[in-house]
């Protein structure tokens, strides 16, 4: 079954908002085994939306719109769908009741009230977060337009609670997709290693470059989920074998997920001491529900004084080597571990830029240390080629820290094995 | 001048990757005064890409593709553009030399080498980060296809260094766009307040709902930047007046930008103590280059023991009230300030979920405290309607903390003024 997405909003065309809505919807369509042909993004422009709708309905059985359902004057998606589907807008009693309940004793304006209007014959999707309901509108010949709101906090629950169940009843075959995630190997090298697999039609294998990570997606299409998974499994195993210990997980959210799980499984704990990453590592760890079982202490020691007082980094060491040095990274990792009593300590210190670089310690130079009771391991990020920005540098440094701990917990080599040259 | 974007990549249609490339390109087109008609996303499917290219070239003078330039077999953008533009692929000498330099003594495979092939007559855009160059390819009748790589770390420098200068020479009028950013006011309420402005054709005003924030965009179109800015300025001032102290800035990245700037201007410092936000607040503050002038200490006290030892929260208080309580939030804020000697301390404690809630302390309950030498201010986030997830809850809690400090630094009321009911 074929689907298309039309995202509506001038803010998307001006680059003010990233279109995460399309990604969320695409992921669900894929899980349902529906074939997403394309995504269109148009502005708050009813003529262009109308044209996109008519064209999409020629190609696809299901067209999903995101955005343009709100109370403002340029929210015109429902009016346009009503026109294309030849279904006049009518007040939807349940939606109006819900809207009245939402406003309570506060006055409701006319533009608020228009949100309860839906094209005739629509199946309403209640909005449990905001004010604008969504709906599925029949558009002739067994085709449907599904309208979802733009703000992700409203779209996500409606997508999962209303739109996906609606679509499930329409769908046929099922796609099973496995993302093999790696850290430390380049896309070109990885593509060569798995070259023997990429010609296969079902299952398929393809490489994707993320920022400083590389993924291989294995996808199989079958009539039900179990058959699709069984078809994909041998290829997933082969990819894992070919990419070896660069693989940190399959269908996991990120390195932090694996590290928190592995720590919990082994009954170990971690404490962090961050300078240039400024809390990003602690944030990534505590993104995981249940992180409190393995993580009790995080220190963001941005000032040298904080490194001395919180972590016990010797004043003389800071004077002799400077805050950005292998010695201080090691002392931070050990200090965090000792102060907290955790099994592992991580220390990160570097120059995230864009300012603060010197010839000896350029922007992009970061030291990352991992310590346990016996050892301290160290990695060095050196500026390579062009500076990719503060965010990128901080992200990569925190990923190195997580990768070091992942490898330690799996008894793999920890230092320098991430280098492309040694792949 | 009209433009369209075509993003290429099956990973986008499967929802594995968010299309930030389109956002980056859209933002630059807007700044150049170019009119972006729509964004298409297609898979690694040469037939569908060819159709999208031909249609886009009928509507727009400039079509920008993102993705599909890499070394793998499903990277087919250049081949397809070459077909549509009727310009055969030829080896581009400079790109091949750069590729050889990149690989050094390592072997270069045939699929790596094909990256140096460009359609005849193209203007090459060097890739200073990765291996695949981009280019601008003439497509007849003064039309151009610009090809940019998919990974954001490669796309961004090429966009700024090569594509934007190329496009600037083609453009006419200039759009000036101002984003008035607010925290604590709903879109519906804000839309009513500025209803008198939204009918204007040039400049225009429109509201956008972010996650827990609301923005008003004022846009003016003129022949040069100075004239466009002058046309927009009175409306920006009017929006600021109508939305009052909910406005935290215009064309600023976020609350954290304003807070770090205001602290620096006033020569004040901040220390943070985070429980449920787990470093996110420190991370947002240190996202700002130069944060070290105002921020020296951040404590992620996930464990109760850490709250006692690092922040001096009394053991008896933790036993009597629990970690998630107004008392502990206040004590954390004061503890962070006192330990570090900073002017302001922030304490955040709550239940981010999805687990860990109780009837007395449900998921979504968060206490946020701000302290200076004389006062402690407190806000409470209570679960309202549906739980929007761990990330959303943590993000909103850190935003409240920043908003409290922003208001304190501007001598505005700090507590509870964010409530919609009091707007």
SS (HEC) of A35-47: EEEEEEEECCCHH
The token pair at B310 is: 């690092």
Q: What is the pLDDT along chain A (423 residues), one digit of tens a residue?
A: 899 999 999 989 988 889 999 999 998 998 787 889 999 999 999 999 999 999 999 999 999 999 999 888 888 999 999 999 999 999 999 889 888 888 888 888 888 888 999 999 999 999 988 888 999 999 988 899 999 999 998 999 999 999 998 998 776 677 788 999 999 888 788 888 999 998 888 998 988 777 678 899 898 888 788 999 999 999 999 999 999 999 999 999 899 999 999 999 999 999 999 999 999 999 999 999 989 999 999 999 999 999 999 999 999 999 999 999 999 999 999 999 999 999 999 999 999 999 889 999 999 999 999 999 999 999 999 887 667 789 889 999 999 999 999 999 999 999 864 433 333
Q: Burial, B90: exposed, middle or buried (Cβ in 10 Å; 0-12, 13-18, 19+)?
A: middle
Q: Name the residue among B29, B70, B279 with its Cβ closest to that of A300.
A: B279
Whole-number Cα distances in Å, A406 to A9, A254, A287, A423: 42, 11, 17, 18
A228 to chain B, minimum CA–CA distance in Å?
16
8 A C-beta contact, residue B174 and residue B222: yes
Is some CB atom of chain A closer than 8 A to the CB atom of B15?
A: yes
CA distance B73 to B195: 53
8 A C-beta contact, residue A148 and residue A134: yes
Is some CB atom of chain A closer than 8 A to the CB atom of B4?
A: no
Is some CB atom of chain B closer than 8 A to the CB atom of A10?
A: yes
Scanning every residue of chain A, which has its alpha carbon at the shortest distance from the alpha carbon of B208? Answer: A11
**SS3 state at A349:** strand
Q: Name the residue among B129, B278, B310 with its Cβ closest to that of A286.
A: B278
Chain A hits for B72, CB-CB cut-off 8 Å, are 187, 191, 198, 206-207
CA distance A347 to A370: 7
Q: Name the residue among B111, B211, B217 with its Cβ closest to that of A16.
A: B217
CA distance A57 to A55: 5
Residue with tokens 């696809």, as numbered in its chain: A60
What is the pTM for the complete model shown? 0.78
CA distance A22 to A155: 10
Is some CB atom of chain B closer than 8 A to the CB atom of A252?
A: no
Chain A hits for B211, CB-CB cut-off 8 Å, are 151-153
Helix (H) or strand (E) holding A229: helix A225-243
Scanning every residue of chain A, which has its alpha carbon at the shortest distance from the alpha carbon of B26? Answer: A15
Is some CB atom of chain B closer than 8 A to the CB atom of A419?
A: no
Task: Tell me whether residues B131 and A298 touch, CB distance under 8 A.
Answer: no
8 A C-beta contact, residue B332 and residue B301: yes
8 A C-beta contact, residue B362 and residue B383: yes
Chain A hits for B283, CB-CB cut-off 8 Å, are 277-280, 282-283
B313 to chain A, minimum CA–CA distance in Å?
15
Q: Assess: ipTM above 0.85.
A: no
CA distance B35 to B257: 30
Identify from B23, B152, B269, B395 which residue to disrupt to test chain A contact, counting A C-beta atoms within 10 A and taking the largest count: B23
Residues B225-244 pLDDT 10s: 899 999 999 999 999 999 99
Scanning every residue of chain A, which has its alpha carbon at the shortest distance from the alpha carbon of B112? Answer: A188
Chain B hits for A340, CB-CB cut-off 8 Å, are 306
The residue that leads in pLDDT, B214 or B324, is B324
A142 to chain B, minimum CA–CA distance in Å?
23
Q: Name the residue among A18, A40, A274 with its Cβ closest to that of B18.
A: A18
In the predicted structure, residue B422 carries a pLDDT above the cut 60: no
Is some CB atom of chain A closer than 8 A to the CB atom of B110?
A: no
The token pair at B398 is: 């850190």
């Amino acid at each position: 079954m074929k689907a298309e997405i039309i995202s509506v909003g001038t803010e998307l065309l001006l680059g003010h908002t990233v279109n995460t809505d399309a990604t969320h919807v695409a992921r669900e369509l894929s899980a349902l085994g529906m074939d997403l042909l394309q995504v269109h993004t148009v502005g708050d422009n009813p003529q262009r939306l109308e044209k996109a709708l008519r064209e999409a309905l020629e190609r696809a059985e299901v067209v999903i719109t995101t955005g343009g359902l709100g109370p403002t004057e340029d929210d015109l998606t429902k009016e346009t769908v009503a026109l294309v589907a030849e279904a006049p807008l009518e007040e939807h009693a349940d939606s109006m009741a819900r809207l009245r309940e939402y406003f309570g004793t506060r006055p409701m304006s006319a533009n608020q009230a228009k949100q309860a209007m839906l094209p005739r014959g629509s199946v309403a999707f209640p909005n449990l977060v905001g004010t604008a309901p969504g709906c599925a509108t029949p558009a002739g010949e067994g085709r449907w337009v599904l309208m979802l709101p733009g703000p992700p906090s409203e779209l996500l629950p409606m997508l999962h609670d209303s739109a996906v169940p609606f679509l499930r009843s329409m769908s046929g075959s099922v796609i099973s997709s496995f993302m093999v995630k790696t850290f430390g190997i380049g896309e070109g090298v990885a593509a060569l290693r798995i070259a023997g697999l990429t010609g296969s039609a079902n299952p398929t294998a393809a490489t994707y470059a993320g920022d400083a990570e590389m993924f291989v997606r294995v996808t199989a299409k079958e009539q039900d989920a179990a058959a699709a998974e069984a078809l994909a499994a041998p290829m997933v195993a082969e990819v894992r074998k070919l990419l070896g210990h660069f693989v940190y997980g399959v269908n996991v959210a990120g390195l932090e997920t694996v590290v928190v799980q592995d720590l919990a499984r082994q009954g170990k704990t971690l404490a962090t001491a961050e300078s240039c990453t400024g809390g990003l590592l602690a944030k990534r760890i505590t993104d995981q529900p249940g992180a409190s079982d393995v993580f009790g202490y995080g220190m963001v020691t941005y000032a040298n004084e904080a490194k001395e007082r919180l972590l016990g980094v010797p004043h003389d060491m800071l004077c002799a080597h400077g805050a950005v040095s292998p010695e201080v990274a090691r002392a931070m990792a050990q200090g965090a571990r000792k102060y907290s009593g955790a099994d592992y300590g991580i220390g990160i210190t570097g120059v995230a830029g864009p300012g603060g670089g010197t010839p000896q310690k350029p922007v992009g130079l970061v030291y990352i240390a991992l310590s346990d009771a016996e050892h301290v391991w160290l990695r060095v990020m050196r500026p390579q080629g062009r500076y990719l920005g503060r965010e990128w540098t901080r992200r990569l440094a925190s990923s190195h820290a997580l990768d070091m701990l992942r490898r330690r917990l799996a008894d793999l080599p920890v230092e320098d094995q991430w280098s492309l040259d040694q792949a």
